[in-house]
Amino acid sequence: MPKLSKREKLLLYIFLLVSIISGSGIIYYIMIEKVIRLNENITLSEMQIRQFQKTMPDRPGLQEEEEQLLREINALQNKFYNDTEMDPYKFGILVRDLLSSRNLNIRKYQTIETKDVFLLEFSVTGDALNLAEFLEQVSYADKYWSMNTLTINANKINGRVQAVFQITYETIINKSN
């Protein structure tokens, strides 16, 4: 390689210096662009987080609502008999005692059992007001009772009624066990 003159060396140094400065400027510009894009992404992400926080209910509020729903579920479950708490025999005694306490005479009593359900069928006679009080007690019992059918025949002369009804209690299987 031939020897470079001072002027050529100076031009070569200037060219290298301009190339390094230009390369550095380009790299700096690219880095600034990346920083600007990252800042824009951060700002956009922060805005999205604020939007989500506005639209999402707060966690403590959700926890309170969940606890309230669990209390309601528990209260509703307490209105049902569990599968070991009641049986048809006990329920029959309970209904017969309730009818007797209302001075309703039991003319006929039978147990009707189907696939998954049993029913107690009663035929009773007595005062209409006493029957109404019995039906009110059934409606407002502490646990759910179900009366599938009710037929009432009233006697105009003496104000007595004859009623035939099928009744059962409602059970729940506790799935948390």
Of 163, 159, 142, nearest in space to 151 by CA: 163
Decide the pairing of beta strands 160-169 and 118-127: antiparallel
- What are the φ and ψ backbone dihedral angles of 88, each rounded to 5 degrees? -60, -35
pLDDT tens digits for range 38-95 = 888 888 888 888 887 777 766 667 778 888 888 988 888 888 888 788 888 899 999 9
How many C-beta atoms lie closer than 10 Å to residue 106's C-beta? 14
Domains in the chain: boundaries: 7-56, 81-172
Q: Into which CATH architecture does domain 81-172 fall?
A: 2-Layer Sandwich (3.30)
Q: Which residue has the tokens 């017969």?
A: 96
**pLDDT (tens digit, 9 = 90+) per residue, 111-130?**
988 877 889 999 999 998 99
Contact indicator for 153, 161 with CB cutoff of 8 Å? yes
pTM above 0.75, yes or no: no
